Amino acid sequence: MTKQGFWNTISRHPFGVLLLALFLMLVLAPSTSLFGKWLPNFHGMVTLAPLSLFVIGASMLTLWKRANHHARHMFAGAVVLIVLVLGSVITHHKWIPVQLIIQILFLGYVLGIVVRSVFKAKIVTSDILCGAVAVYLLVGVLAGLMFVLIEYYAPGSFRVSNWTTDAAAQQASFIEDPGWLVYFSFVTLTTVGYGDVLPASAVARSASVLVAVIGQVILMVQIARLVGMHVAQETDSRK
C-alpha cells in the first residue's frame, strides 16, 4: 500500500482509527503504573498522556470527517492537546482537574457526534460498526476520567481490596497511578467486578452503579439499532 493509499484508508475510516486509539487506552492504561519503575519522574496524569494524545488526535479526525464547523472543532481539539502537553510539564496537583474536566467535556462532545452518526446511518458499514464499538469504549474512558476526578476532590473514594496479594496494588495512589481507575471503569462498565478495586464513598458507589447500568443500556440499544439497520438493508436489497 502506498503512502497516499494509507492516508486515504484512514480518512475513509475515522471511527476505525478512534476505535484503535480507545482499544490501546483500554489495554495499556492498567499497565501505566509500570512506567514509574522504569522512569522515576514518569507518574501521575503524565502516564496517561501518550494514550490520551492518541485518543484526542483520533477524536479530531472523527470530528473532521463526521461533523460540520471544522475550524471550531480543530481549535477545540488543539486546546485539549495543548492542555495535555502542558500537563506533562506542569506537575502541580492543581493542574490535574483542569486536564480532566477539559478532556471529559471534549470526549463527551465526541461521544455525542459518534452516537448521532451511528444512529443516522442508513446502512451498516465497517466504519459504522467501529463507531458503535467506539461508543462503548468512549463511555469507559470517560468513566475512568470521572473516577479520577472524584478521587481528586474526595481522596479515599476508591480503595484496593484487602484480599489482593499485590504489594504494589496495596500501596497504589489513584492520583499517581490513574490507570487503576481507567481499569476499574472498564471492569465496572462490563459488570465483570473482580473486586480488587472498590468504591469506598457514596459518590463513588453512585457513579459506579451509573456506569454499570449505562454500559448495559448501550449494548442493548446499539445491538437493536444495528440489527434493525441490517434487516432493513437486506430487505431493500431484495426489492
User: pLDDT class for 114, splitting at 50, 70, 90?
Assistant: very high
Q: Which residues on adjacent β-strands are paired with residue 197?
A: 160
Nearest to 144 by CA among 100, 182, 173: 182
- C-alpha cell at position 137: 469504549
Interval 142-167: pLDDT, tens: 999 999 999 999 988 998 876 555 54
Residue-level pLDDT at 13? 85
Residue 47 has pLDDT above 90, yes or no: no
The confidence score (pLDDT) of residue 11 equals 76
pLDDT mean across residues, the chain: 83
Alpha-carbon distance of 225 to 53, in angstroms, equals 31
Evaluate if residue 46 carries a pLDDT over 60.
Answer: yes
Quote the pTM value: 0.86
pLDDT at 66: 81
* CA triple 85-17-127, angle to 5 deg: 150
**Mean of pLDDT values over 27-52:** 71
The 10s digit of each residue's pLDDT in 53-105 is 899 999 998 888 888 878 888 899 999 989 888 877 776 678 888 889 999 99
